[in-house]
Amino acid sequence: MATSNRLRLLSLSAALVFAVAAAPACAEPSNKWRIQVSSDADSAGVMVFDIVPVNAPPRSVTVQIPDDAGENEVADLIRDALRVQIGDAYNVEVDDGEDVLVKKQFGAADFDLRLRETTVRGVRINLDRE
Query: How many CB atoms are located within 10 Å of the residue 14 CB?
Result: 10
Q: Is the separation of the CB atoms in 71 and 40 below 8 Å?
A: yes
Average confidence (pLDDT) over 44-67: 97
DSSP string, 23-44: SPPPP--BSEEEEEEES--SS-
In terms of DSSP bridges, do strands 32-38 and 99-104 run parallel, antiparallel, or are they unpaired?
Answer: antiparallel
Query: Where do the domains of the chain lie, and which CATH numbers do they carry?
Result: 32-129 (2.60.40.4390)
pLDDT for res 88: 86
88-94: long-range pairs with CB below 8 Å, 24+: 89/53, 90/51
> Rounded mean pLDDT of the chain?
86
Q: Which whole number is the average pLDDT over 101-119?
A: 96
Q: How many angstroms separate the CA atoms of 109 and 40, rounded?
A: 33
Give dist(CA 5, CA 11) in Å, integer: 10
The structure's pTM equals 0.79
- Facing residues of 92 across strands? 102
Report the alpha-carbon distance of residue 75 to residue 95 in Å, rounded: 9
| Main-chain dihedrals φ then ψ at residue 23, nearest 5 degrees | -70, 140
Q: What is the mean pLDDT of residues 112-125?
A: 98
